[in-house]
Each structure stands twice: as structure tokens, then as C-alpha cells.
Structure 1
Amino acid sequence: MADVEKLSGLFVNAVRQSCNAQTAILFSGGLDSSLIATVAKRFCEPLLVTAGIENSSDLEAACAVAAQLGLPHEKVVLGEAEIIKVYNKWHRLARGGQLNKIELMVPVFACCRAAAKAGKWNVLLGSGAEELFVGYERYFDYLKEKKDLKEILEKEFAALPAGDCAATDMVAKSFGMAAKYPFLNAAFSQEVLSLPIKERVGTRENKKPLLRKMAQNLGVPALAVERRKIAMQYGSGVHKILLKAKKAGLLEPEASQD
């Protein structure tokens, strides 16, 4: 049985090592970012930053959870033209790529820009939580297909620093910021990855149960603990705008997957 107290303690240390007086958190009001925020407030007063289109689910959830946490919260409302402009900019800087990879940079860019304007040069993100705690829908397909999910998770987790995190680092550095990833902390992640899959996996309807137990143990607001996973590009409303723009021919062409 996974030791929730031990995991919680390791995560607290991971966040503590990532915090300073100039800390901002990319905040969706979901489980991962709310856990980081709840722990970070022990060591500093982080600025929570959320980006999305008007009335998006991330903006609404983030406002509610930020109020419960009693932390300063910066809301960045994105318009259609700006979303397209930022997407095309990062598509060129990344020398092409698939929409589902580049689109994530839109809310990240908007949040980092707002944090930099507020004088916050240290930004925390929840990357790694899905790979550690079996959060993506495709993982349940792999289980159904009898694939070695433990090996897949380890490989995907190991690929993060040179993959998704590298793209985020590039955005943060463009504002003179440093991006930190508490879930990637070596001591914490090694402890989680050493656990059998059966102690980490939930169901399609109730993903990441072990992380939810940790969140409850560390005092995360129930609203965030119970919120179902929504990827940032969907919760922010960015994906819907970009699909519409793609059909209208307003986006840089996607790179071939050959």
C-alpha cells in the first residue's frame, strides 16, 4: 500500500525547493496546480495566473479555488486574434510541429507574460503529474491492450525534460523567467515510479486516486480535489479557437508526422 504521508512529505520538499519570493504558478484550479499552490503558500505568497477565453472552465474554476486558497490571482482573458497570433509565433520558433503540441504554448505564453509583468520570475508548473499518477485517457487504452504500462509511464516521464518541458522552458526564458516542475523532483518521482501500477491507477471515471489522497492529506480545497482532469488547451478554450482557425486557413501548416 502506498504511503500517502511519505509521498506528501516528499512533495512538500519538492515544492519548497522550487519556491522563492518571486514565484508564480500556472493555475487552472485543477488537482495538479491546486496541490502545488496549497503547498507553496507554506513557503511564499505565489501569484496564481490563469489564461483562457471569456467564461472558459479554467477561468471559472481557478477563480473559485484561488478565493478558497486566499492567494493573489491574475486572470488573463484571451481573444481569438491573440490566440492565433501567439500560436503562429511559437509554431515558427519551434520550427513546426503538431497542433496538439504547439497549442499548449498559447496559455503558457499568456501566463508567463502576465507573471513577468507582475515581477515574478520563477514559475511553477504541474508537468509530470499525468505520467506519475496515470492521468491520461490513453493509458487506460494501453491497459486494455495488455501493454506494459509501467514501462510506458517510465519512458514518457523520462522524455519530459527534453520534450514538453523544453518547450515550456523556451517560453519562460523568452520573458527572462525560470520554469520549475515540482512533480519532476528526483526523490519524489522515484518514489512514485517505484510503486506498482495497481497502487497508482484509478479508473477512467476516477483518475489519479493516489494523487487525490495526497491532495486531501495536504489540505487542497475539495473543489480542486474533485475536479476532473481537463488539459490546459481545452480548459482554457484555446483548442476550440485554434480548430476553427485551422479550418479557416489562419494557422501555420502542421509538420508532417512521417
Structure 2
Amino acid sequence: MCGFVCLWNVGDETLASKMIHKIAHRGPDAVQVARLEGAPVVMAHCRLSIIGPEDGDQPIYQTGDMLVANGEIYNHADLRAILGESAFETESDSETILHLFRSGESRWISKLDGMFAFVLATPKRVIAARDPLGIKPLYVARIGGGHAFASELKAFDGVPVESVEAIPPGTLFDSRDGWRHWYRTPHGAAEAEAEFDVDRTARELRLVLEEAVAKWMVADVEVGSFLSGGLDSSIIAAIAQKGLRDQGRGPLKTFSVGTEGSPDLLAARRVADHIGSDHREHVFTAQDLADAIPHVIYHLESADIDLVRSAIPTLFAAQLAVKEVKAVLTGEGADELFAGYAYHHDYVDNPRALADELTRSLGTMHNINLQRVDRVTMSESLEARTPFLDRELIDFAQSIPASLKLCRTDPQAKESTGETTEKWILRKACADLLPADLVWRKKAQFDEGSGTVDTLAEALRLLTGAVGEVDRDGEGALYERILRQRFETPERILAAAGTWDSSARVAV
């Protein structure tokens, strides 16, 4: 996992160095700045070594082409075999991007399987692209007649740019050929046909999920797992622990945070005991929250109330995990794929509308939960991995009728009770992994289950000096004031961050 800057037809090594050092937390293992010979290109890169730690420094420069990349290419070994091992000069998974581009295939980028953002330059051309759902961030700014690319908005803070915008998920910019939307989220199915085999579908879902977890654990360093005690992170941790045990490895390191006696901490302990993970936990206080909020807002690059609230426990979990591992698995994506949010219950009698909403929400994750997880974990130089957002799993999950994801059914008795159960097919597929009461435990948002919401009221009083309760308007004003204090050009940060309703979708 890394951060990068690319200047094309603008600036020099001094500007690139200034920009990369603003996001150097993304990659503390190495920082490099280089110019592409014979081209108006300067690239800078900060590296967190995960795959190919000995020889994977960037920018990667080979015979006139230069590349900077952020993320992981999980099928890099297969691509090496196809492209020819002799062409490769390093063990880095990122190098596969360069050789795929050189293959000359028109849809070469679609062969990349993983989470990534990159900029690739030749003497006459620059190409920038982002993974299907925008797990990894990428921004572009116009400066005069040139472009500047960077992994975070703060790299542009104080730089005289004309505009800054996010490159959309699943999109590629080519200075020669223009924009391409190379990936589109498959549209979700609505209702099951009469002959639809639910049991077979659940079994296949389990296999696809197990393959996704195994794939997203590939690394040359140890990978741990966040464990909130909720369904999604518990399933990921249970599958990961089982995979390690089957290989004679492990145990998996799991990490949980919350206030003293909070539901998440108690549930996470039970899950850890059940699966046999090597568990760590951290108890935080109102003062810890007050101390963390300015850090969270700066790195989150947002003053959105609900995003900030959910990011605080993510920060504590990252600070706990990074003491022992360089990468962690997380549960992001399950709610969007399997209808896990409270507002989804409004769609229980309209599977078509639910399927449409799930498809829509998948396409906006980069502005909500994925932004939170990336910025906050990378602020601590920790890589977060999201197996639920594996492309093959997305394809399979979207083919499952929405009527099996949210339904008025008692999943154990298989009788209609009128009670709505979210993520039903996912629970059925993984019911044997965890105790029954945890499998069917009702969802709580991460900031609620961890105890953040209740403790936050006291933290806000500590920050503002208020005697009584700080209402939502006051909380929002505080967050925006903190953001404005932390940036030289706060209006640019606020404008580029965008506006969206995150209140219903900010859970791990």
C-alpha cells in the first residue's frame, strides 16, 4: 500500500517532493522522486512494503516508461505466467500493470484483479486509472496546461491548482484517447424464480467468499483482521482463521475496540474465543475521542458528521493493529451487497427497488465507507483489505435475488413470521462458522456498537467547553472549523470531498 504523486506537463521535483511528503504517512518504508527522461513527467512515491518488499520500490522505470501505483494486484502471479516471467525485473505485483499496458490489448486494464490506483507515463502519453469500486483513491488537478495526480486531496493543499476532482471508480484517463469507463457494476437480480435452488446458492456463495478471503490474504507480510463482533467482520475473521489453520499457519491476529463493556467488545471476544484467533482489544474513553477528532478530520478529508463518527473507532483499531501487522482484513461491502442497513428494510416488499438500491450504493462506496477506511488506516501506515469487494464475489452476489437478501422469514424455521431479516442468504451460507446467536445478531453501526455515540457527547463537551449537550448542528460546525484550521486551502478540500448522505451507511 502506498501513496503517489505524478506531475505531467507541470512542475518539477521540488513540487513533487513537497506534495508527496504531505501524504508520506501512506508509505513510510521508502520515499522516491524521479523524472522520466525525455518527457514532461515527474513522479513521487511513498511505499508501504507488502508484496516484493526487497525490490519493489517505485517509481518503476523501464525503457522509457514510468509507473507509480497504490494497492494490490492479487492475480499478479497468474499475470506473470501469461506475460512471461523473463520480462519482469522485480517481485512487485505493481510491475504487472506496466507489462499489461505494453501487451497492446485494448482492454488490458480489465485483467487486473485487486484494489488499485496508478499513473503510467510514456514520453508522449500519461494514463491514470482506478479500481472498479474506488477502494483506492486517486485525484487529478489541472495546473495551467498540465495535470497533477495524487492519492489524497491534502497533497494539493496550498498548491495553486485550477481544479481538483476525483477520478471515478472503474475509470481510466488517457491523455491521448480521453476518458474510459472500463468497469460497470453488474445490476442486481430481484426475485427468485420458482425453481431457484436456495441451498445450492448458499453453498456456492460460501465457496466464492472463501476464495475471496484467501486471495485477499496474499502478502509477504502477516495479515490480521479487524473484528467488531458484527456479522461481516466475524465471517471474514472466521474464514481467514480456518484458512490459516488448514495451512498449518496462524493463529490469525484480530483487533477490536470499544468503550468499557460495549456490545462490540463483548461480541468480539466471543467470536475470537470461538474461532481461536490471537485477539487484541483497546478500550477508549471520552478524552481519547476528543484527542482523536482533529487527527481524524484531517486525514479523513471530510467534516461529514457521520463519517467522522464512524472513523474514530476505525482509527483506534488501526492504531492497535499496526503495532503487530502491516495489513488487515475488514468487512466493508457486505451491507451493500446483501442489504445490511436499517434503511433497506423499507424495501422488503419491493425486491426490484432493493436490487436497484444495492447496485446504486455499491457505486457510491468510494465516497463513504471506502474513503473512511482508506484514509484512516493509511494515516497509521496500515493497509486495509476488503474481501467482500472482490470482483468475482460482487458478480456472484449481484446474481443472487434481492428477495433472498432481505426477507420476512425465520431463517431457522423457514417459516414466514413477518419479521425482517437482513443479509439472510449470507447468514445461511456462513451459519456453521459462528454461534447461532452471533450469526443472527441484529446489526449495529460501528460507532454505536463500539460505544462511540454515547461517549462522543462527553468528548464534544470537552472540545467545545459546552456545559450542556452539543446538538448535531453544533457538532457539524465544530468539525468544519477543525478542518478549516488544518488546511491552507480548506474550501478546496470541502468542495472536492463532495456532499452525500452518509448517515445510513457508515458501518464496518
TM superposition score normalised by structure 1: 0.90
Aligned residue number for residue 26 of structure 1: 226
Q: Distance in 1 between matches of 2:304 and 2:457?
A: 12
Report Cα offsets for 1:10-61 as digits up to 9, x if no partner.
0001000111451121111221111111110133332110000011111111
How far apart are residue 105 of structure 1 and its match?
Answer: 1.1
Kindly indicate whether residue 430 of structure 2 is the aligned counterpart of residue 232 of structure 1: no
**Within 2, Cα distance between the matches of 1:214 and 1:132?**
14
Cα deviations by residue, 1:140-188 (Å, 9 ceiling, x for unpaired) = 2245689822111111112223432122111222222211101101111
- Relative distance call for 1:228 and 1:94 in structure 2 (3 A) is same
Match of 1:170 in 2: 375
Alpha-carbon separation, structure 2, partners of 1:16 and 1:96? 33
- Is 200-209 or 185-194 further displaced after alignment? 200-209
Q: Secondary structure at the match of 1:140?
A: helix
* Percent of paired sites with the same residue: 25
Match status 1:36 vs 2:215: no
Residue equivalent to 2:396: 191
Change (3 A) 1:22 1:138: same
What is the match of residue 457 of structure 2? 243
Contact 1:26–1:108 at 8 Å: present in 2 too?
Answer: no
Residues 1:183 and 1:155: Cα distance change in structure 2 (over 3 Å): same
Distance in structure 2 (CA, Å) of the matches to 1:249 and 1:98: 17
CA distance in 2, matches of 1:4, 1:225: 15
Cα contact 2:254–2:280 (8 A) shared by 1: yes
Higher-strand-fraction structure? 2
Q: What SS does the corresponding residue of 2:316 show, helix, strand or coil?
A: helix
Letter in 2 for 1:206: T
Q: Kindly provide the amino acid, as one letter, of the partner of residue 26 in structure 1.
A: F
Ranked by relative contact order (alpha carbons within 8 Å, sequence separation 6 or more), the top structure is 1
Q: 2:215 aligns with which of 2, 11, 17?
A: 17
Could you list the runs of 4 or more consecutive aligned residues of structure 1 that deviate by over 6 angstroms after TM superposition?
144-147
Q: Which residue of 1 aligns with 2:491?
A: none
Determine if the alignment matches structure 1 residue 160 to structure 2 residue 365: yes
1:168 corresponds to which letter in structure 2? V
Matched, 1:112 2:327: no
1:101 is matched with which residue: 276, 295, 307? 307
SS at match of 1:176: coil
CA radius of gyration, larger in: 2
2-structure distance, mates of 1:200, 1:147: 12
Helix, strand or coil: the match of 1:165? helix
Distance, in Å, in 1 between the alignment partners of 2:361 and 2:445 is 17
1:123-134 map, 5 Å:
123-134=328-339
Q: How far 1:200 moved relative to its partner?
A: 1.6
> Alpha-carbon deviation of 1:208?
1.4
Q: CA offsets per residue over residues 202-227 of structure 1, 9 Å max, x none? A: 3464221111111115x233342122
**3-state SS of the aligned residue for 2:478?**
coil
Give deviations 1:201-256, integer Å, cap 9, x for gaps. 13464221111111115x23334212211111101101112234446663662459
Q: For the residues of structure 2 that align with 1:78 and 1:193, how far apart are their CA atoms?
A: 38
Q: Does structure 2 retain, via aligned residues, the 8 Å contact 1:65–1:223?
A: no
Structure 1 CA distance, aligned partners of 2:260 and 2:441? 20
Q: Secondary structure at the match of 1:161?
A: helix
User: Number of residue pairs matched?
Assistant: 256
Q: Which stretch shifts more, 92-101 or 45-54?
A: 92-101
Paired AA for residue 122 in structure 1:
A
Give the AA of the match of 1:12: E
Q: Aligned partners of 2:328 and 2:425: how far apart in 1?
A: 25
Is this contact kept in 2: 1:52–1:77, CA < 8 A?
yes
Tell me if the contact between 1:31 and 1:215 (Cα under 8 Å) persists in the aligned partners: no
Unpaired runs of at least 5, structure 1: none
- TM-score normalised according to structure 2 size: 0.47
> Structure 2 matches for 1:48-67, cutoff 5 A?
48-67=254-273
- Distance in 1 separating the partners of 2:369 and 2:313: 14
Residues 87 and 105, structure 1, Cα contact 8 Å, conserved in 2: no
Partner of residue 5 from structure 1, selected from 197, 203, 215: 203
Structure with a larger share of its residues in helix: 1
Amino acid at match of 1:42: K
Counterparts in 2 of 1:162 and 1:8: CA distance versus 1, 3 Å: same
1:209 partnered with 2:414: no
DSSP-derived class of the 2:366 partner = coil
Counterpart CA distance in 1 for 2:360 and 2:383 is: 25
